[in-house]
Amino acid sequence: MSRSSHELFDFIAAALAEFVASGGVDYHLPEGTHRELGFTFSFPVKQTSISSGTLIKWTKGFAIEEMAGKDIVAELNEAIKRQGLVMKVSTLVNDTVGTLAAGRYVDNDTVVAVILGTGTNAAYIEHAHAIPKWHGPLPMSGDMVINMEWGNFKSAHLPLTEFDQALDAESLNPGEQIYEKLTSGMYMGEIVRRILLQMAQEAALFGDNIPPKLEIPYILKTFHMLVMHHDASPDLETVGIKLKEIFEIESTSRKTRKLVVDVCKVIATRGARLAAAGIHGILKKLGRATDSPDKRRTVIAVDGGVYKYYTFFSKCMERTLSDMLGEELAPSVVIKPANDGSGLGAALLAASYSQYLQADED
C-alpha cells in the first residue's frame, strides 16, 4: 500500500497468474488471441479512454506517491508481461461503474450504484446534455455514466465533531474525502476508538488506568465495531470478548459494555443517514425524488462490506431513504444488493467491448 508501484502491480499480476493457472487444462485460448481483462480500480482517475487513465490521488490509506499522474493500465499491463501472461486490460472501470453495469445487466431499471465498503462512492446515469463539461460527440443513447467520487464531498452542513476533525487532521489526506471519513469502513471503527479513548481519559470508562492499546490508531476496525454492535446476548458477552481481544481490557461491567454498544450505534446511525442523504441527492438530481404521476421504478445497486455485513447500517440507511422519499414515492425505489458487482461489472464491460470491436471489424 505504500511501497513502490512495481511491487503493487507485480502483486496483482502474480494473483492473476495464480488464478489463470487454476483454470485447468480444458481451457485453451484460440490461436492468435489473448485474454481480455476488465480492471476495477476504485480510486480517483482521469480516464482518457476505455482502457487508459491516470491516477489523480490515492485514498483509503494507499500512499504510493510516484503513481500520481501515471497511467495505471500501462503499469498493470507491464506487470502482466513480466509474469508472461497472454492477457491485457481492455477496460478500466471504477468500482461504482462496474456495480452499475452489473446491476443494469440483471435489471434494466438500475440507474444508480453505490459502494459502501472500505471507502464509499457512487455512480449514476445522467442525460449527456446535462453535463456542462462534456465537449465530445454525444453517445448514441444520449446518456452518460457519471462516477461521482462522492467520498470527497465536503460541506459546512456535514455534522463534524471534534473526533472527526482530529481524525482528518492526522490522516494521510487531511481536508480530503470528508464524506468518506464519516460513512465508510476505513474510518467508522477509528471514530469509535477515539470516542472511547476520551471517555476512558475523562470518565474512567475502563477503570483508573487507560488501556495502552486503546491509544493505537486504527486498531479498532469497523468489522469489530459491527460485531460488538450486533451482540444480542443478554450480558453483551461478545462485546466483553472483543474489548479483551483488541484492547486487552480484562473485565468490564455490563453497563460499560452497553455504553460501547451505544457509541457504535451513534456512529453507524450517522453514517447510514448520511449515505441515505447522498442517494436522495442523486434521485433529486434525476428528478426521481419528487412525486410525479408516472412514478418510474428506480433501482439502486449497492455493494461493499459495510452494506453487506453491517445489517444495522444497511437497514438504517434504507429506512432513512424511505422517510426522505415519503410513503407515496418510497415503494417505487428499490435497493438491490450487488454482490461483487464491481468485479462482475468489469468483466461484463470487457466482454461487451470485445464484442463491440468484433462487430465493428465485421
- The residues carrying an active-site annotation are 60, 95
Question: Closest by alpha carbon to 284, among 244, 245, 333?
Answer: 333
Please give the Cα distance from 362 to 358 (Å, whole number): 6
Please give the Cα distance from 67 to 257 (Å, whole number): 44
Distances in Å between the Cα of 241 and the Cα atoms of 46, 194, 270 are: 45, 20, 26
Cell of 199: 471517555
Please give the Cα distance from 299 to 302 (Å, whole number): 10
Please give the Cα distance from 21 to 352 (Å, whole number): 25
Contacts of 115 (CB under 8 A, 6+ apart): 42, 95, 96, 99, 121, 122, 302, 303, 304, 342
Q: How far apart are the first and last CA of the chain?
A: 43
Please give the Cα distance from 227 to 342 (Å, whole number): 25
Cell of 153: 464531498
Question: Closest by alpha carbon to 182, among 253, 106, 277, 95?
Answer: 277
DSSP string, 182-209: HHSTTTHHHHHHHHHHHHHHHH-TT-SS
H or E element that contains 163: helix 162-169
